[in-house]
Amino acid sequence: MSDIVVDDLRKNLDEGAHERASLIVGEHATFHGITEAVCRPVEWKAPRAWYIFFGLSVALAGVFVLSTGYLFYKGTGIWGLNNPVGWGWAIVNFVFWVGIGHAGTLISAVLFLFRQKWRTSINRFAEAMTIFAVVCALMFPTIHVGRVWLLYWFFPIPNQMSMWPNFRSPLLWDVFAVSVYASVSVMFWYVGLIPDIATIRDRAKTKGRKIAYGIFSLGWRGSARHWLHYEKAYMILAAVATPLVLSVHSIVSFDFAVSQLPGWHTTIFPPYFVAGAIFSGFAMVITLMVIARKLFNMEHIMTLRHLENMSKVILVTGSIVGYAYAMEFFIAWYSGNPYEQFAFINRAFGPYAWAYWIMVSCNVIVPQIFWFKFCRRNIAVLFIASIFVNIGMWFERFVITVTSLHRDFLPSSWDYYSPTFFDIAALLGSFGIFFTLFSLFVRFLPQVSMAEVKTVLPEADPHHGHDAIAQDEAKHLHEATA
């Protein structure tokens, strides 16, 4: 392994246009080598660490189920919500998880449209993260209504009361945005998976695997006539997912921005939320990938170059987020609105100043280390910084939600909000659900898109090794036309 890293490092250092570190390194850089490496975790017995991790995740998911069961029995009073703070951790967690999901779509769709080939090794992984994060995100608005049996009120379904939803409410836009986002993400992911599931089907030894992977591969046979429509469908999905992901987090920010509350009612929210979402999502991809590439020996496919590129994205989006924090204060001062000014002074120096400064340290200061190449290429530094960003971005949503609410227009109703045991159980439990789904994914589905990674090998180009011939032909053509 170490010589591969050294090789990779050396190539990245003499950064000529053609001599960049390859996207696949080491002896596995053949079509069959990629198949073997990616199929191994699916076909071989899982390492002991996987069982331990899976067991812990399921136990944590159980915490979510139990605490939510009690919530349904008792009501939202078991949470720390109080009179001015009617939106607590449930909303914080919702925005946190949706934001995490967005990096997956960014990697799979936006980088695809920009022809960023380095995404091929990590897009499957990131898309899986998107789906599982959106699953967790959808839990919170679902349970925070308290009376979950009335959930159908969200949707325009004819009902016995002849009532219809109010389509002028951003909360309703949110229902549509997040459900559509979940559906499109699943479709995008599944379409990408079909050729790879077919690969596992064709390698399957047991009847059970042949049937299971056979059904989910839908009879895929790598036909060029199919690839033609397939690639078009994939491109279209990327093209619709790109504006979708921007719209989803913009609409999530409308939940706040469309209200009249100082601290929420700002026009900077949509771009600021989108940048924050990408920021937190990339951090989560790094956290997960550092573990998975080690656990499943995929360091040659998810290379240091991938991690380095992602740390650059974190640096950029972290700086955008820092700019937004500063701009909020500037606008509060420049607006001349005393309520707006109070909201921001209270945010930075009031009872929740501790949360505000945790947020600033984790989101603005920590990512600045990625100006240095050493930090971008050091696995331990990357891992720790990504954890800090995850924490910081959770606190950002906490700061926005709680500091704006806890001191409202009437000082007599001011209060301090703190979570209860059940708030904490729901947040930790949602991590359990996320990691349970993720463990199942890395065990039963290919974590890397084999079909796509094969296309970035030089020999995948049908004209590979024919440069001399092509030049010759071009010369003849030139002579013929001259």
Partner 1 sequence: MSSAQIADTQLESYRGTDKPFWGILAEFPNPGKLFSACENIRDLGYRKWDAHSPFPVHGLERAMGLRDSLLPWVVLVMGLTGASLAMLLQWWISAVAYKLVIAGKPFFSWPAFIPVTFEIGVLFSALGAVIGMFAFNGLPRLNHPLFNSERFLRSTDDGFFISIEAADPNFDPETIESFLVGLGATSVEVVCDDS
The residue ranges that bind partner 1 (CB under 8 A) are 30-32, 35, 156, 162-168, 170, 172-173, 176-177, 180, 183-184, 187-188, 191, 195, 198-199, 201-203, 214-215, 218-233, 236-237, 240-241, 243-244, 247, 251, 254, 450-452, 454-455, 459-466
- In angstroms, what is the minimal distance from the CB of 154 to partner 1? 12
How many CB atoms neighbour CB 478 within 10 A? 9
- In angstroms, what is the minimal distance from the CB of 291 to partner 1? 28
C-alpha to C-alpha distance for 441 and 36, rounded to whole angstroms: 18
Rank residues 6 and 228 by Cβ distance to partner 1 and give the closer one.
228
Longest dimension (CA), the chain: 89
- In angstroms, what is the minimal distance from the CB of 106 to partner 1? 16
- Encoded tokens for 91: 């909303």
- In angstroms, what is the minimal distance from the CB of 451 to partner 1? 4
Rank residues 312 and 464 by Cβ distance to partner 1 and give the closer one.
464
Rank residues 251 and 389 by Cβ distance to partner 1 and give the closer one.
251
- Encoded tokens for 446: 């290919």
Which residue in this structure is represented by tokens 């950002």?
A: 396
C-alpha to C-alpha distance for 270 and 274, rounded to whole angstroms: 6
Distance of CA 384 to the CA centre of its chain: 18
In the three-class reduction of DSSP (H, G, I as helix; E, B as strand; rest coil), residue 405 is classed as helix
- In angstroms, what is the minimal distance from the CB of 82 to partner 1? 28
Local structure of residue 363 (DSSP, 8 states): I
- In angstroms, what is the minimal distance from the CB of 433 to partner 1? 25
| CA angle at 476 for the pair 471 and 481, rounded to the nearest 5° | 125
241, 188 in Cβ contact below 8 A?
A: yes
C-alpha to C-alpha distance for 421 and 430, rounded to whole angstroms: 14
Phi and psi at 415, nearest 5°, equal -155, 165
Rank residues 52 and 228 by Cβ distance to partner 1 and give the closer one.
228
Rank residues 75 and 156 by Cβ distance to partner 1 and give the closer one.
156
| CA angle at 58 for the pair 385 and 132, rounded to the nearest 5° | 55
How far CA 108 is from CA of 30, 68, 430, 435, 457, in Å, comes to 23, 33, 24, 21, 19
- In angstroms, what is the minimal distance from the CB of 116 to partner 1? 17
Rank residues 30 and 335 by Cβ distance to partner 1 and give the closer one.
30
Rank residues 373 and 464 by Cβ distance to partner 1 and give the closer one.
464
Rank residues 13 and 157 by Cβ distance to partner 1 and give the closer one.
157
- In angstroms, what is the minimal distance from the CB of 472 to partner 1? 15
- Encoded tokens for 187: 């479709």
Rank residues 244 and 321 by Cβ distance to partner 1 and give the closer one.
244
113, 243 in Cβ contact below 8 A?
A: no
- In angstroms, what is the minimal distance from the CB of 460 to partner 1? 6
Which spans in 350-378 are helix H? 353-360, 373-376
